[in-house]
Structure 1
Amino acid sequence: MFLLYADESGTPGGPDQEHFVLAGVSVFERSAHWLSLELDKIAEKFDPQDPASVELHGAPMFAGRKFWRKFEKEDRLEAIKDALRLIDGRKFRIFASVVRKGAISPDDPVHYTFQQIVTRFDHFLAREHVHFRNTQRGLILFDKSSKEAPIQALTTQFKVDGHEWGRLRNMAEVPAFIDSEATRLIQLADLVAYAIFRKYEKADEQFFSIIERKFDFFGGIQHGLNTAI
């Protein structure tokens, strides 16, 4: 089974931010534990006695908020980069959708971006079956949020009634919502979403440059990144 750990960056409503990002990192189930251990090593640098208490989240690490206030900015930013470097494009794939909210108005940014990443992930699973005889189901794991109910409803709708391009055919179940404190890979998804958000909202590519070649790619075409800007 392929697991897609997903999170958002930016706010879907309000005028304070122009962009909204939904992004995920696809990991084969047997690789998830190894990747989590590598992220633990990064967290351990900031609290060797209790690394499990250190949550890797882009916005507070960048700004130096709360727990991160006591660490030098250079160390905080390098930790973000170290985590993003763990995403080996041969083993793991990024799926993301970024929108400028004004460009898709009056459409809902959550609906738009979720449809993009779930269908692209579904197409990836189909491609694995057709081209590589690797038949696997997929499961999307989101950070817990107030958007759980609408996203669950959208998934059911896409499976039963279809979406703009067909129906979901390779999902094992509707998305699961888990606390980011419980899994490093949701935290990694947060860092990916933040890296994309910084590029489009702030024209800051220092993090995006690390992941720009790690989006799902096949046949000379980048499938993993959708932009509506």
Structure 2
Amino acid sequence: MHLLYLDEAGSAGDAGQTHFVLAGVSLFERQGYWIANELDKLVSSINPADPAPLELHGSPMFGGKKIWRQYPKEQRWHIIKEALEILARSHHSNRIFACVVNKQNISPADPVNYSFEQVASRFDQYLSRLHKNNDSQRGIIIFDKSTYESTIQGLATDFRTIGHRWGVLRNLSEVPLFLDSKASRLIQLSDLIAYSLFRKYEFGDDQFYSIIQDRFDEVGGIKHGLCERI
């Protein structure tokens, strides 16, 4: 079983932002525990007495907001980079899937609909590729709870029954699941991935993206795991 943890960065409805990102990481089921444990150790390194309330969340960590206000910028940014390094050092089967859109360039299409169709179909194609290589695996997509929950659930059901523009999702064992990010370090990691892409495309800042740029699903030099409409 491969679990694709996804989160968004940027707001689909904010006219002040150019880009919207949907991104995250696909983990083989046995890899999830190791990565979550490493992320727990990382957070414990700065608050060993009570690490649980410290949620790895890109925007507050970058800007020093909410609970992260008490930590200096250098420490906050270091933690973002170290969390991404955990993924960068992990097993080669752990792969990033992402869609980055310039909202104006895909108008009148909805950024959430467009991005989810791209990411879900690319994840499904990845699982089909594994099957052709005698490694049959099913997949589940896991989201942070958000305002897009009802939209995503409806799209996923349609993609599995009616189909999307490239076919029907064949390798997902269930409709997407939604978790509270506070309870999942892996959802938090997907937030950092999405925020890293948002910083790169919205602000030209690749200090975080550069750490994970080689972890997209890729075959023959083609990044199948990255959709760009910019």
| TM-score, normalised via structure 1 length | 0.98
Provide the rounded CA distance (Å) in 1 between the counterparts of 2:70 and 2:52. 18
Where structure 1 has 5 or more consecutive residues not aligned to the other structure, the ranges are: none
Provide the rounded CA distance (Å) in 2 between the counterparts of 1:29 and 1:188. 15
Instruction: Specify the alignment match of 1:75 in structure 2.
Output: 75
The answer (yes or no) to whether the contact 1:104–1:228 under 8 Å persists in 2 is yes
Letter in 1 for 2:159: F
Q: Secondary structure at the match of 2:52?
A: helix
Provide the aligned length of Structure 1 versus Structure 2. 228
RMSD: 0.9
Instruction: Specify the alignment match of 1:176 in structure 2.
Output: 177
Letter in 2 for 1:46: I
Provide the rounded CA distance (Å) in 2 between the counterparts of 1:71 and 1:150. 36
Specify which of 90, 93, 98 is matched with residue 92 of structure 2: 90
Provide the rounded CA distance (Å) in 2 between the counterparts of 1:14 and 1:50. 35
Where structure 2 has 5 or more consecutive residues not aligned to the other structure, the ranges are: none
Instruction: Specify the alignment match of 1:202 in structure 2.
Output: 203
Instruction: Specify the alignment match of 1:212 in structure 2.
Output: 213
Structure 1 residues 96 and 89: CA distance shift in structure 2, 3 A: farther
| TM-score, normalised via structure 2 length | 0.97
Displaced runs of 4+ in structure 1, greater than 6 A?
A: none
Letter in 1 for 2:12: P
Task: After superposing the two structures, state which structure 1 stretch, 41-50 or 16-25, moved more.
Answer: 41-50
The answer (yes or no) to whether the contact 1:89–1:214 under 8 Å persists in 2 is no
Give the drift of 1:218.
1.2
Instruction: Specify the alignment match of 2:190 in structure 1.
Output: 189
Instruction: Specify the alignment match of 1:160 in structure 2.
Output: 161
Letter in 1 for 2:176: P
Give the drift of 1:46.
2.4
Q: Secondary structure at the match of 1:215?
A: coil
Give the drift of 1:14.
2.4
Q: State whether structure 2 residue 19 is matched by structure 1 residue 19.
A: yes
Provide the rounded CA distance (Å) in 1 between the counterparts of 2:64 and 2:48. 19
Give the drift of 1:66.
1.7
The answer (yes or no) to whether the contact 1:89–1:213 under 8 Å persists in 2 is no
